[in-house]
Each structure stands twice: as C-alpha cells, then as structure tokens.
Structure 1
Amino acid sequence: MERIKDWKSYQHTLNRRKRKNPNISKPLFIFIFLVMLTVISIGGIKLFSYLKNYYTKSVLNKQQAFLGTGIRPIKFINSKTNNKIETLSASLRANGIKGSGKKYFNGHNFSIESLQKYFQSYPPKFNTIKNGHYLQKIGKYTIIYTLNPAVQNEAKKVLKANNVPFGAVAAVNPETGAVLGFYSYASNKSKKYEISDLTAYRPGSLAKIVTASAAIESKGFYPGFNVCYNGGLYGTNKNYWIQNINTGNNRISFRLAFAKSCDIAFGKIAGFYVGHTLLQKYFDKYYFNRKIPFILNLQNSTAKIPSKFYNLELTGAGFKNARVTPLLAALMSAAVINGGKLLDPYIIKEVIDSNGNIIYQHKGVKILDYPITPSTAAILKKLMISTVTQGIGRYDFYNNYNQYMLQGVTTGGKTGTISGNHPTGLYQWFTGFGETRNRKIAVSALVVEKPVWRIEGGGVSEKVIYSYFFNNNNENNNGTIKLAKK
C-alpha cells in the first residue's frame, strides 16, 4: 500500500510543477506567425493598391487628354440689334467659376466656341429642371438641354439603386437625333472617370448588328435562312468555326441566331458570306472610324477588320477589333426604326440670354449617313424584336409570370457580352428601341459587372423605355422655354 501512496504523491507533485511551468512555446509561436502573416498581407495589399492606382491614373490621364479634343462648331445668332452671324473668340472663364484664365463669356459676346471650351473643362450639369426641360446657368446665359426628365431620372435611379460597379445609358429620339438620356455611374466615386457615355468600349455581340446589316443588304439574307454548325451556340473553337457554312449537325435560322446571339453562326456568316471588304464598309457606314459632330468630346468608335479568315470571323461575331460609344450604339438602334437613317445627335436645344432672347436654337434634322436601306431596316427590326420575344432579351422584358411588361409598346434590341479592361469587368450591353404609333425612343445601356450583378444592360434599358412611355409627364419637349426677364 505504501508504494501506491508514493506513486500518487509523485503524480500530484508532477502535475503541480506543470501548472507552475506551463509550456508556452507553441501558442507563442502561433501568435508570432499570425502577426507576421498579417503584416505581410497588409504590406502586399498596400503595394498592389499603389501600383494599381498609379497605372489607372496614367491610363485615365491619357484618356482625358484624348477626350479633350475636337468638338463640332455651331454658329450663334446675336441679339436683334445685330443680325450678323458671328463666331467670337472667348476667354477661358465663366461668371462664378474659379480657376486660371479669364471669363468664358464676356459682355454680350457669346459663341459656341466658348461653350465648347467650357465643356472641355467643366462637363455639363443636368441638375435643374424647369417646364419639363433640363437647363444650366452659365454666366449670363441659360443652356436648355434636350434631355427628357423621365428618361434621365430613370437612368440615374436604376443604376444607383442597383449600385452597379460601372454603368452608362444613352437615349435618343429616332426621329430628330435629340439626346433624351445621357448618364454614367460608378459605385466607387474615385473611379467615376473610368466610365462615360463619351468613351468607346468593346461592343461584344452588338457588332452582329453590323454583320447582319451587311448580310441582309448585300447577300440576300432573310430571317428564315438556315446556318449549319457543330458545337454549341457560344464559344470560339477554331475547328468548328472554319468549317464550311453548310457543314454541321446543328442548324439555326438567321432570326434565332441573332436573337440568341449565336457566335459560331455569325462567325461563319462574316467569314464565308460577308467577307473582309464588305464588313469594313458597313462598319464605316455606321460611322465607325469617323468623327460624329457632337458638342461634347465624343470619342470615335472604331472597327478594323482583319483579313485573316478566323480573325475576320471573330470580329464579325463581336470578339475583336471594335469599340463603340453608348451614344453611337443608341443611334444604331435609332436607324433601325427610322428607315435606315443615322442621325446627327444634339443635346442643346436653345441658349437664352439674360434678357430672355433666344440667341441659339437647334433647327432641322441632320442625317450623317444611310448605313442601310429602309427594306434592310425592316428586316433588321424583325430580328431585334425576336431578341426580346424569343432570345436573350426576353428575361429582361418579361416577368416571372411570363407576362410582357411594356404592353402596347413594341420593343426590340441586341445584347452584347464581353470582358474588358478599362474598366475591368464583364461588359453587359443592350441597345434597342421602343415605339408606339406616336412615339419612339432608342436606348443603349452598358453595365460593367464584377462579378455577375443584379441587373444587366437589358434590364436597365427596359426600365428606361418603360419610364419614357408610362412615367413621362413632359411628353412635349418641342416648345420654346420662356424665362422671366430679370
């Protein structure tokens, strides 16, 4: 019994010593390791952020330098005491605006040149609404814009409500070229200059509008024309793309290929039917690679069609070699519902001086080009309607109960999806139209997702079109604004 007692005493003594001298080396090592890992991670994140901001800043500086060039001249008519048409050199300041240089507008002298220079430094502000029109006070003059309040407000509302990383909306009147909506948004305000209606971005499958136009007008394509292919609707497997257009176990009509945005079908159409020269011609007719005369600094949309067969196919399907601005994308849809006319866009309706005199008023409709004939436009319109009724756009224009959400309004469009780097993300495009017997609107919307977002370009466009037809209390934007004399 004594031996057992000694053994218990020994164990008790041993446990007491362990409590007095705990082994702290392992927890201490883990703590030190976690601290070092945290320090390294924070340092790495800060370094990455610094390099990213440095690179982004350099890119934006180059972009802003580019966007600061070239604006269309417009002549202004002086007051009744001087009926001459003049273009006057103006200084570089406006009343109430601080900065270097003199005033933009001095005394009774006012020119569009001075307004152009002003907009280069200070983008137009669409904040004040009077009698159903947006207006802006610059010095002694009031600028009346063509924007439709229902359209502009809905564009702001939907992009902000969904807090999209980047978004842009442009809308035009297909009959006149008046800009009805013009808004861009970035959820991170420090990156707001990475998105703009004035900048050209990768179009994705919007390029299929041009390919379809060339195929219809020059190669006799019609909605029921069938294209054979192997593989799936999407993807860029070269082995399938270079097969003859009559080769393949699958078949799709031209209408559904457009509505569902079948990549391989349009690649084959571009390569085997349209060809390099004709595709370049139609991009140029849609005013790619040409300067659109616009008072704001609108970047050129570009398209360079390669001669190599597979790259030609990829370009015709929307994967390479093209850039488009949201404004031109809207003008392309406008051409589809106005008989094939690409209109000269304008955003200034009138300019009024401090005495209430109209010193400038936009008059008439100017046509930039006729990219397609009326008959081609009619066929293309059917294809674009199919995008909404049978294609990818259906998800944006029909609710969960399979009910069309714009009763009484005919809608159509084209989707586009592609990745891009400036800004970085997945570009989700939609350009389309809405029309009734008396009214029309053409819209384009771009949402840059990082990653997939709650709303895409089609959803934004549907809401803007709905607002134009059903929430618009300022339907008549054609009247002259009367401002009280001071």
Structure 2
Amino acid sequence: MRRWIVVGIAALLVAVTLPYLRSEAAPDLGLAKLAFGDPGPVGTTKRKVVPEALHKVDLAKIDVRGEVATAPAWGERTASLTVIPKYQRAANRLLREGAVAEGAIVMTDIKTGRVLVWSSYSAEAPLRDIASEAFAPAASIFKIVTGSALMENGLTPSTRECYRGGKSRIDDSDLLRDERRDKWCATLSEAMGRSLNVVFARHALDHLEKEELESIATRYGWGRDIPFDVPIEKSRYEFPEEANELAKVAAGFWHTTLSPFQGAFMATTIANGGEAVQLYIVDKVKDRDGDIYVGPTERHVLGRAVEEKTARAVTEMMEATVEKGTSFTTFHDRAGRAYLKETRVAGKTGTLEGKGYLFTWWVGFAPADDPQIALSVLVANRGDWRVKGTQVASDMLRVYFADKGVKGVTDPTGGSK
C-alpha cells in the first residue's frame, strides 16, 4: 500500500513539474532577445558635446540638392545622411505629383539597415516628419502579424478555408461556418494576396489567443520604442477580450496604428529571415570644429523576432499580393506584363477610411528570393484621389531596379535628376 502511495506522489510531482521543465527548454524567441531597450544610436561619438550629437536632427528638412543628403541638427550642426539623393528626389516627386494629402516613403538596405529613402510630404504646411508618425491605422498590414502568428501555431501558406462576405467589414455572422453559404475557398497565401478578411478572422478565432497575437505584434515593434537615430512615435494597439472582436482586429479592422518607419522595420525583419536589424539614417554629424558623430560601420542585430521558417512562409504569402492579389494591376501593365519581370516581390497592401482620410499602405521587399531593399509607403488621400500606396510602391521599386540596371525595367520618373 505504501509503495502505491509513493508511486502516486511521484507521478503527481512529474505532472506538476513537467510543464515548467518544458517551458524552460522551449526556445525563447520573445521580447527578452529583442534589444528594443538599448539606447538608440549604434554609431561612434567622436567628441563629447552638449546636447548629445544627434539632438534635434530634423528629417522633415532633408536637403538632396548636393551629392550627399543632409539635414539640420541642433544649433549650427549638420547631419550627413545615408539617404541616396536620386532615390529621395524620386520619392518626393512621386508623392508630390500623386497629389496626396499626406504621405511618406521609407526604403532600407536589407543587409546593413541603412535608410536609403526617408520622404515625408504634406499638401498643407507646416512640414512634418510623417515617416516617424504612427497616426494612421495599420489596416490590413496587420495581417502580416496574424499570418506570422498562425505560421508559428502550425498552419501553412496552403491551409485552406471556405468563406463568405467580409469584403469591407466583418459581421459576427460571417465568422460562423456554413457549408451551404461558404461558396468561395482560399489558401492562406491567397487570403494574404487578396486581403480576405473573413479567412484571417476565422483562423485567428480558431487558433490564436490574445497573448499569442500580442507577442508577435510586439516582436515586430508594436507599442515599443524601436531604436533609431531620431525619436519615433510608438505604434498603438488594443486587443479586445471578446473573441469575435479580437478576430476582427487580427484581420486588420481598427485598434492598431503604424508608422511608415515601423512598416520598413517589419519588412526588413522578415526579409532578414526573422532577424531584427537596427535601422539607421545618420552617417555623420559635424559642427564648426569637425565631426562629432560617425554612424555605424557594421550591421547591428537586435535579436530574433520570428523563426526563420515563419519568415519564409510569410514571404511566400506576401508574394501572392503582387502575383495575383491586390497589387497585381499596379505591378503589371494592361496586357498583364510585369514591370519587374525578372524580380519577385513580396508585399502587403492595406486600406482603411477614417479621420477624414482614405489611408492606403504598401509594405514589402524585393527581390523576395534574395532581398536587397525593404519599402514602406503610406498615402493618405482626401476626397478624389490620384494614386494609392501600391502604385507609389510599384513606381519606387522600378526607380531602384532601373538604377541597378535590371533588364527591362524603366524608371517611371525619368531619373529624377
């Protein structure tokens, strides 16, 4: 009898402690390994000055008239930037000639984290650094977060779901499966490409807890102070406790905001196989006595945001946006010929109305199979509009790859001299 009591106690101890042992052995891909708490710049201070070297670098006033892009800083200091003047001029032109109310374009070098374009535009004064602001709703860009969370929960890009409704809104009734009424079916790749709201909402309802969605969102920078050379407004998120409302957020309906900077940060992270790399834009700062700050000379890794296989799967899903989804018409001519026929592109569009604006996003990178640049575009239109974010993104990628001499690619701006 005593022996059975001892065996029972031992079994109970194993049952109680095993979850903790498993937890200890599990790989930590979460917040602890992402050094978002690190102090911003990773360059070298040449001389100690007060205030610090990067104080009040004003990226709303970037000057690209010379061979090197510059921005004013505190007092008589000048910051030399990593921005490429001809790309910056092209970006400025695309926003200006697109007659947008407000907009921003951020383009980064995938491997180094250097910012190649930092363009903000507003049709009304005063000048603002819109690229650093997180006032716009994230809209369907948040499907990248949800897609990543679903991949880490065992789903694949080929996971299939039949659905109905949800084109511009989701009703609770849309979340209930009905074999007679669910006449359309799509894989997760197709759902990402065509931005199918109900497919994402149903999968989130079935597979994701609030904490899982929040974990991925914060690893991509939501609600975090992402290290950078200048202050960046933190994106906001609010995840409802009610399951159906959380599913709607997972599909991109309200409760989240995003800055163009963070869009580029997220795209750069996915393009780097899930590894978060610190972005930087300041190459040097000098005053009357010479250099006081020199930017980083090597890549600085913040940590791993998602598993490499997750990043690969999300990339595959994002490629569907350009191949056969919401960006098809802007990345192809009327005959269906790709403007970037030799280049695979991974991207995601987002569209949402609010605050008197029609907000349109494009976030992604190229080439998808050997990434060079990440791109984040926000366009905010009022009333009649001329361009959306996906059109500006297509043109900006054409500017870059035409400059790189990729066969068959033309610059839609004519070179923006």
Q: TM-score, normalised by structure 1?
A: 0.69
Partner of 2:163: 229
Q: 1:148 pairs with 84, 89, 92, which one?
A: 84
Partner of 1:168: 104
Cα distance, 1:183 vs. partner? Answer: 1.2
Contact 1:430 1:446 in 2 (8 A): yes
Q: Do the aligned partners of residues 168 and 245 (structure 1) sit closer, same or farther apart at CA in structure 2, a change above 3 Å counting?
A: farther
Report how many residues are paired. Answer: 366
Q: 1:468 pairs with 395, 400, 409, which one?
A: 400
Percentage of pairs with the same residue: 25
Q: Do the aligned partners of residues 216 and 455 (structure 1) sit closer, same or farther apart at CA in structure 2, a change above 3 Å counting?
A: same
Partner of 2:117: 181
Partner of 2:50: 89
Matched ranges for 1:268-283 at <5 A? 268-283=202-217
Matched ranges for 1:22-171 at <5 A? 72=40, 76-78=44-46, 86=48, 88-90=49-51, 111-112=52-53, 115-116=54-55, 118-119=56-57, 122-123=58-59, 125-131=61-67, 133-136=68-71, 141-171=77-107
Cα distance, 1:462 vs. partner? Answer: 1.1
Contact 1:135 1:144 in 2 (8 A): yes
Partner of 2:339: 405
Cα distance, 1:351 vs. partner? Answer: 3.1
Q: Distance in 1 between matches of 2:108 and 2:62?
A: 16
Amino acid at match of 1:469: F
- 1:371 paired to 2:305: yes
Contact 2:110 2:374 in 1 (8 A): yes
Partner of 2:248: 314
- 1:443 paired to 2:372: no
Q: Distance in 2 between matches of 1:167 and 1:210?
A: 23
Q: SS of 2:69's equivalent?
A: strand
Q: Distance in 2 between matches of 1:434 and 1:184?
A: 22
- 1:207 paired to 2:168: no
Partner of 1:5: none
Partner of 1:18: none
1:308-349 deviation digits (Å, cap 9, x = unpaired): 011101110010211111111111111222111122111101
Contact 1:350 1:362 in 2 (8 A): no
Partner of 1:478: none
Q: Do the aligned partners of residues 277 and 356 (structure 1) sit closer, same or farther apart at CA in structure 2, a change above 3 Å counting?
A: closer
Q: Distance in 1 between matches of 2:384 and 2:72?
A: 40
Give the structure with the higher percent helix.
1
Q: Do the aligned partners of residues 353 and 212 (structure 1) sit closer, same or farther apart at CA in structure 2, a change above 3 Å counting?
A: same
Of structures 1 and 2, the one with the larger relative CO (CA 8 A, separation 6+) is 2
Q: Which moved more, 1:355-364 or 1:226-235?
A: 355-364
Contact 2:193 2:325 in 1 (8 A): yes
Q: Distance in 2 between matches of 1:358 and 1:472?
A: 33
Partner of 2:391: 459
1:68-118 deviation digits (Å, cap 9, x = unpaired): xx9836674436xxxxxx4x433xxxxxxxxxxxxxxxxxxxx42xx31x3
Task: Name stretches of at least 5 consecutive residues in structure 2 with no aligned partner.
Answer: 1-37, 406-417
Partner of 1:387: 321
Contact 1:141 1:353 in 2 (8 A): yes
Contact 1:294 1:345 in 2 (8 A): yes
Q: Distance in 1 between matches of 2:373 and 2:42?
A: 25
Q: Distance in 1 between matches of 2:259 and 2:313?
A: 24
Cα distance, 1:261 vs. partner? Answer: 0.3
Partner of 1:360: 294
Amino acid at match of 2:152: E
1:35-64 deviation digits (Å, cap 9, x = unpaired): xxxxxxxxxxxxxxxxxxxxxxxxxxxxxx
Q: Distance in 2 between matches of 1:299 and 1:158?
A: 24
Matched ranges for 1:415-426 at <5 A? 415-421=349-355, 424-426=356-358
Cα distance, 1:292 vs. partner? Answer: 0.8
Q: Distance in 2 between matches of 1:306 and 1:437?
A: 37
- 1:326 paired to 2:260: yes
Q: Which moved more, 1:360-369 or 1:425-434?
A: 360-369
Q: Which moved more, 1:205-214 or 1:233-242?
A: 233-242
Cα distance, 1:134 vs. partner? Answer: 1.0
Q: SS of 1:379's equivalent?
A: helix
Contact 1:305 1:321 in 2 (8 A): yes
Partner of 2:18: none
Q: Do the aligned partners of residues 391 and 406 (structure 1) sit closer, same or farther apart at CA in structure 2, a change above 3 Å counting?
A: same
Q: SS of 1:284's equivalent?
A: helix
Q: SS of 1:302's equivalent?
A: coil
1:119-160 deviation digits (Å, cap 9, x = unpaired): 3xx5563214544x3134666654220112232111101111
Q: TM-score, normalised by structure 2?
A: 0.80
Q: Distance in 1 between matches of 2:100 and 2:229?
A: 28
Partner of 1:434: 366
Q: Which moved more, 1:452-461 or 1:253-262?
A: 452-461
Q: Distance in 1 between matches of 2:102 and 2:300?
A: 32
Q: Do the aligned partners of residues 284 and 232 (structure 1) sit closer, same or farther apart at CA in structure 2, a change above 3 Å counting?
A: closer
Task: Name stretches of at least 5 consecutive residues in structure 1 with no aligned partner.
Answer: 1-69, 80-85, 91-110, 474-486
Q: SS of 1:208's equivalent?
A: helix
Partner of 1:100: none
Partner of 1:54: none
Amino acid at match of 2:96: K
Q: SS of 1:239's equivalent?
A: helix
Q: Do the aligned partners of residues 76 and 338 (structure 1) sit closer, same or farther apart at CA in structure 2, a change above 3 Å counting?
A: closer
